[in-house]
Structure 1
Amino acid sequence: MSPGRRRLHTAFAALAALFIVSLYFVTSPLLSLPHSTVASTATDWTRWKTHRNSSKHSNSWSLSHSHRKPITLDTDAELAAVTNFIASLASNAIPPTVDPSKPIDPELVLGFDIRSPRALEDLQELRIDVWEKNPIIIFSEMHSPTCREAKTMFIEMNTKPGPLIFDIDQRGDARVLTPLLHRLTATTSLPIVLIGGKPVGPTITDLRSMRDSGELRKLVHEAGAELVSSQKKNKKGRK
């Protein structure tokens, strides 16, 4: 081998040795780590990626949820929501800041998230539930003769369940609730009688006529109220 080639060969060998030594010093700290440390590092990385992706999903859901439009109430739904609200707890009252001439804010009277994807379903369930539980509802005044007559009329029917009666003049929210109910039922005076969620009458003269013709009992039965007195008569007749 010529002297020139020998020197070139020696130079390449020296470079190769230097590369191997450098590689050793770079990788030896990693190779000396315990297996558990390496595994833990990999696990932490995976957790961080999962958390980041989860956070992105959560944030995007929150943003879309907050920007979803709330449900609105038509007249029938508003009547059901208001009735359910005051029937749920004796302490529930319509705030004095409410303008009874305008549709009420659903958040004031609904007990669920009005921006939820299920909001319309929840509202429909509420509408069905409130009238099934309370097929006869009377909004009245305690000392009004016509209101007393209307209440007596339905109490004497001996229905099950019996009429749910609200003496509006005894409530703290009477000034707001009374005109609100008049707007929702297209009435101008008390009593307001709801059978199956629908106003009937509206005057005491109309109610008397409906009672005498049997129409009132028919409506009560169709609304789901049980006419206990009529069942007893039928049983006696069979004997």
Structure 2
Amino acid sequence: MFSKEEIEELVIQIRREHGLPVTPFEIDEVRYDREEDKLFIIAHDRTDKSVIIGSSLVIGKLKEILGVKMVSVYTTLDLILKRMQLERSLNFAEEHGLDFLIPFIKAEFNFPPRKWPNPKKSTKGIVFLTFNAKALLGFANAFGIESQVYGVRYSFPKLSFIPVDRSIREVFFPSEEFLKSLVKDEEIILSEFAFPARFDKVVLINPIRFLRIGYFELKYLFGESRPAVFNKADLLDYVVKMISEGLMEATDGARIIRWGWKR
């Protein structure tokens, strides 16, 4: 429906009309999801991506002109790194008999667009709420995990969970040892661990890193969540780590830090 040449011409037109420099850029591929009315632009590298987004002005005008529900921009490197992680995740799932995760991993190989299977009851587990609390609950639901939900006391007053008295640092960086101590018959623990997945008496998974889904996508998949209690230095540490791993855009990181410093 949309060709990359057409998109390139529109980006140049929008930048000229709004007094932005017409910097050379390259688009490798354009994909359109007719069912969801979403357009995905695969830029050659991050510089090209920045030109297409144009501080959100260009991409916003592009969406308006094309009349689509959403326009998202990725780079070829983004997708290469994602597939490399998915290969490791697939091996992990196969090695530990996590068959219910395999359809999600295989679906992500074809991203964009994202076409997950319908949730089916799969296993029992624990969810420990961290910064992306809504996303963790969303992943558990999508995976079909029947879960007990825990979180630091007072951390997410609008969400339902079992409160535990833990350091507020664990709002961003959960304690593996503490979570393993909660395990009874549960087979899996979901939280924002510093690694994608690990087996240590029990399976621990950070679904964000496991499927390599960035913060920008999480917002549209599950919505945003904000902790009511946290340490500002921990927030900064968390955001810097997410940006350095390519899981958060610097603009989102700046917005989150600004929000945190106003608290």
Q: Same fold (TM over 0.5)?
A: no
Q: Higher helix share goes to which structure?
A: 1
TM-score range with shorter-chain normalisation? Answer: under 0.3
Please report the TM-score for the alignment, with normalisation by the length of structure 1.
Answer: 0.25
- Relative to its length, the structure with more strand (as a share) is 2
Query: Rg larger in 1 or in 2?
Result: 1
Q: Which has the higher contact order (CA 8 A, sep 6+)?
A: 1
TM-score by length of 2: 0.24
